[in-house]
Each structure stands twice: as structure tokens, then as C-alpha cells.
Amino acid sequence: MMRARVAYSGAIHTATPARNPQGAQDRAEELLLDDGRLVSGAEVVWLPPFEVGTIIALGLNYSDHAKELAFNSQEEPLVFLKGPGSLLGHRGSTRRPAGVKFMHYECELAVVIGRRAKNVARAASMRHVAGYCIANDYAIRDYLENWYRPNLRVKNRDGGTVLGPWLVDASDVPDPANLGLRTHLNGELRQQGNTRDLIFDIPYLIEYLSAFMTLVPGDVILTGTPEGVANVMPGDEIICEIDGLGRLVNTIAADESFGR
Amino acid sequence: MSAAVCTIPFEIAPFRLTGAVYGTLLNHRSALAELGSRAAQPPYGAPPRAPVLYIKPRNTLAASGDQVQIPAGMSELEAGPCIGLVIGRTACRVREEGALHHVAGYLIVNDVSVPHDTFYRPSIRFKARDGFCPLGPAVVPRDAVADPDALTLRTYVDGALVQTASTADLVRSAARLLADVTEFMTFIPGDVLALGVAWPAPRVRAGQRVDIAADALGTLSNEFVMAAR
């Protein structure tokens, strides 16, 4: 089952794909709302597909991307946290401040917790996963400082955590450790990877995290991005795609779109 | 535990906390002074320019009276006494003048950490453990605090005064910090922004009680206990 959360006609609804369950190659995603109405994906506002709790993100969790950033091998996952103010849904726009030199997307597999997890062993860890979605975890490297890296000014900006379009049930993702990820920038394939190349895999991360923090339903782990990040400019369309999870669309907006 | 904390009673809008709590690194002059010239050396390279924040996730939230668990194998933790702003009006790119109009009230935050000596890329294991962010005992409305830039926090361990710190000694005042942070991220009503911990942070062992008191804000009290293995 794949579910979206959308705003339509004055209310927030759960929606499922009316057709094309592999996540709509066509732009006219057709949605079946929970009240039976059939609507076009272009008529709704797409929200993050679940009530998002703690947002846990991984840095440098693909060996190729770690190499790209000249980073050495690690003993412990590089985990940072993001706040709820950074969340954005499918087809939203993310601001690029004037004057910055390097703002980039990061296509990531997001693992959504469905059952409370505390001190969970690796072997039992996958039972705590509700499902998966696509994340685009933006960064503006101009603001990187060597204090509590990556500092929130780089990573926790408004609109910097894009989630969606669907939450796909774990039972519909038979092998989350073998999913292709791709990012298209203005239609051109720029980033490619596969979750089989994760340095710390999903069971490891759940075991590691749940040893010191209790995970509860709605908490989400953004598992890191492979190599191929590229600079984005106002007007650019970024589509992050993961096998079986659909395509997450975002556009970049300039300061002029904002009143302050 | 965390759900209960978000219902800390207060009689003014927004009436509840969202559960999003942000801490500010090195925003007390004593903390920056202690670092001294090391701030300009590797791995840092330069003192912080913009505010450096971190997140205390919802699993860390606790109330006054809750026990803080010292992880097995550790002898002590660091208490992190600070003042928290509770946002009352959505704050996006606010100016320093008038920034405090976006504040509903204030509370005391104990930003507990496992002692660590790096600010470069510390593991979240040091700050994001269950119960590591007691808050309270209540949210005190903005109007009841005459001068948020002259709030004195006194921290007692087992009744002995171990630290006195004032918001007068912040690197960025509450208003300046709100302006600089909301340049890149928006706060919504019920979010909490903690203003920064003074150096040296008090160390606490199992069996000890920490009371953090501020004249207008009451006392936040928590006992530290050894976690069961």
C-alpha cells in the first residue's frame, strides 16, 4: 500500500494512487482520497506522507559519497538531527538565498518507524519499520562551520527536508537493501546509487539508535545519500526517485518569491 | 514521558509545547572564553560566526521531578542549566527590535550531556539520550519577566550552590539570537529555543539531585540515578 497525505478542498486527506501504483511516471498523478473522491495530483497540496516525529539523518553513509567529500572511514554512524520546521511535501519549492555558491540536493531512502524501539537487536529491528519514503535532504555548503557539523544553518533550513510523495508499507518493499536511487536535475540524470552500498545498513542503524534513544512511530531515519550531488539554481526542478517508492519533485525558488 | 512534558501547563497561547527544543552552543561568554584560542585552531579553524544550534529530540524531554538516568558504565553527567524561550508567534526572519514579541514565555531547561570535549562533530549519543532534557517546572508568561537579559540562574547539586549564571553574559541576547536564527529557520508557537549553558557545566553523579532556580521561573528539580544495566 502507498499512501499520501494531501490537502484538498479545505481538509487534509489520506490518498492512494488511483492507478499506476509504481509511482506515476506521468505527471498527472491521479489520487483516490479516503472519502472516495478521485482527484488529480495537480489539484492537491502534497504534505509529508505521515505525521513526522524526530528526524534522524545520516552523513556520509555511502562509501562513494564519503570519498567525494574526502572523508575517511568511520567507527560510528555520523548522525545529525533535523527539526520539524524544515519539512516540505512533494511538489513544494525550496528557497535558495541570493549569493550562495553551493546548494545541493541529497536523494535518500527514508525509513519510517512504526513500532516503539528501545534496545532493539539487529535481528528484530526490521519489525519496527512501518515503511519507506523518499527524502531530499538539502544542504547549503556555504554556511558550513566546524561546529556541531553539519550545523543547522546548512541543513535545517525551511523547506530543506522534502519527504514523499508516498509512505510505502514495509511489506511492499521486499528488499530495502537493494533499491536504486536516482536524482534528475532538470530532466538530466545526475545522481545514482543503490541502498546495497550503505555503510551502515537499516538494521544496524535501528540497533545503534535504539540503544540510547527510544524510537517511536513517526520517527524517521534519512539513511544518507550516494555520490552525485550538484548545485541547484532558482527555477531548477529536482526529481528524486527510488525503486518502488515513486518520484519526489521539488523546485528551487529565489528570494523574490518570499516577502521576507 | 515526552508526551506529558508537552502538556506542561501554561495559561497563555499557545498553551502547549510542540516538543521541538533547540539548544545553542557556546552562547554564554564563559563557554567561549574557556575555549579561548583553541576556537581558531583545528579542527574548528575559526570561532563560530552564525549561531550553532542542536536539537534535543522528543525522547529527551522530561519534566521536573523525573529521574535522569546515568548510562551504565558512566560515572557522571553534565547538567546544562539554561533559559528557554517558548515561542508564541511564528518567527520567520524577525528583526532584533521587537523579536521578543514572538516569545510567549520562558522556562528553565536542563540540557543534560554525557561529558565530551569536542564541538566538531560530537555523536548525538552525548545529548539525545532518553530523558536528557528536563524542562519546567512551568512556562512563565513573557510579561512576568521584567528583563530577560538579566535573568540569574542558580544551580544546586544536593543543595550546594555550584553555578550562578546570568543571561546578561550571553554572546547573543535572546532578541539577537532569535533574529539570527530565524534568518534561516522558522519557529512556530510552542517551539523552545534554549539560550546557552555557562562554563563550567556542573557534573552530577548518581544519587544526586539538581535544582535549577531562577527568581521569576521557579525551580526545576531532577534526581540523577544509575540506569539499570
* B5 band by pLDDT with thresholds 50, 70 and 90: confident
Answer with the residue of higher pLDDT: A17 or B1: A17
How far away is chain B from the Cα of A85, in angstroms, using its nearest Cα? 6
The whole-angstrom separation of Cα B131 and Cα B79 is: 12
DSSP-assigned beta bridge partners for residue B187: B91
Nearest of A126, A100, A88, A117 to residue A5 by alpha carbon: A88
How is residue B90 annotated by DSSP? Answer: -
Q: What pLDDT digit, counting tens, does each position of A213-260 carry?
A: 999 999 999 999 999 999 999 999 999 999 999 999 999 999 999 988
Contact A153 B191 (CB under 8 A): no
Contact B20 A151 (CB under 8 A): no
The whole-angstrom separation of Cα B58 and Cα B128 is: 9
How far away is chain B from the Cα of A158, in angstroms, using its nearest Cα? 5
Q: What pLDDT digit, counting tens, does each position of A115-125 carry?
A: 999 999 999 99
Q: What pLDDT digit, counting tens, does each position of B109-164 carry?
A: 999 999 998 999 999 999 999 999 999 999 999 999 999 999 999 999 999 999 99
DSSP-assigned beta bridge partners for residue B69: B225
pTM, full prediction: 0.95
CATH of the domain at B167: 3.90.850.10
What's the total number of domains in chain B?
1
The whole-angstrom separation of Cα B154 and Cα B159 is: 11
The whole-angstrom separation of Cα A218 and Cα A13 is: 17
| CATH among 3.60.15.10, 3.90.850.10, 3.40.50.300, 3.50.30.60 for A48-254 | 3.90.850.10
The whole-angstrom separation of Cα A76 and Cα A60 is: 11
Question: Within a 13 Å sphere around the CA of B97, how many CA atoms are in the beta-carbon half?
Answer: 0
Q: What amino acid occupies position A71?
A: F
- CATH 2.30.30 in chain A, residue ranges: 1-47
How far away is chain A from the Cα of B187, in angstroms, using its nearest Cα? 7
For A54, the closest chain B residue by CA position comes to: B57
Nearest of A22, A1, A3 to residue A13 by alpha carbon: A3
Residues in chain A with CB shorter than 8 Å from the CB of B45 are 146
Residues in chain A with CB shorter than 8 Å from the CB of B48 are 145, 147
Q: Is A62 on the interface with B (CB under 8 A)?
A: no
Place of cell 539508535: A209
Q: Is A213 on the interface with B (CB under 8 A)?
A: yes
Please report, for residues A17, A164, B109, B187, the alpha-carbon distance to residue A2 in angstroms, rounded to integers and kept in the order given: 7, 10, 40, 31
Instruction: Give ipTM to 2 decimals.
Output: 0.96
Provide the domain limits for residue B88.
2-226
Inform me whether the pLDDT recorded for A22 exceeds 90: no
CATH top class, domain A1-47: mainly beta
How is residue B113 annotated by DSSP? Answer: B
